[in-house]
Structure 1
């Protein structure tokens, strides 16, 4: 649980230091679009574990910011296909690069016996 909280904190800090006003759920949506390519709104909602209406509101905000492109599926006009725009991809790369650097720095410190976590009595 502590590691999960740490990763969330690192993501929030990476967003802030990148100058982004995105929320963590919005970043997560961008990361899904970055990793999965174009997806339907219903697929995005299922992947994020939210209702389609919640995903739609999130996508509308991301689209307004120029981070997501939303098009009607030509094969089925009831479906909406979502794509990450170049600025959206840049946000994902910037934030994830920042987070990866911070994680690497934490691992480096943890591997340093002089600085790493305290050992329990009776362990080596």
Structure 2
């Protein structure tokens, strides 16, 4: 395959900047004040159901002490519950608390509102091709590093 023209790469990077900006800004829309890194932990727990701090560190690509600090802060905020792990009673499993689920839901809804606001600025005949292009792009992006989990924002 030929390398894409610079204009396509530039358009992609400009769109990515807008999406990352939205992801960062909307973290503040939750009921509790969390950082982007802490929100990533909440998303990971929401997606997985429950993990150890070691698993959180591995999946986010950070060291264990960093993950532990984030998890401790989320526990202090009441957004995660620490429980004895079913498979190993010496280990602790982290799960979203009801407040943590509300936090994730609030940020997700803020992101959906943002997306709707952007999409209302497009002509209706632009939506179908955009959806198809985004789906194609997402599949191609997933195939670049198929064994790596998608980054969570």
TM-score tier (shorter): 0.7 to 0.9
Cα distance between partner residues in 1 of 2:58 and 2:15: 25
Runs of 4+ in structure 1 deviating by more than 4 angstroms, as ranges, are: none
Quote the residue 1:120 is aligned against: none
| Counterpart residue number, 1:83 | 95
- Which residue pairs with 2:120 in the alignment? 108
- CA-based RMSD of the aligned residues comes to 2.0
TM-score normalised per structure 1: 0.79
Larger fraction in helix = 2
1:19, distance to aligned residue in structure 2 (A): 5.0
| 1:8 aligned partner | 20
Shift of 1:107: 2.4
CA distance in 2, matches of 1:100, 1:106: 10
- Asked if structure 1 preserves the Cα contact closer than 8 Å seen for 2:32 and 2:77, the reply is no
- 2:84 aligned partner: 72
Instruction: Please point out which of 35, 42, 57 is paired with 1:45.
Output: 57
Number of aligned residues: 113
Return the TM-score normalized by structure 2.
0.65
Post-superposition CA distance 1:85-111 (Å, at most 9, x none): 000100100011111111122123134
- Asked whether 1:62 is paired with 2:74, we answer yes
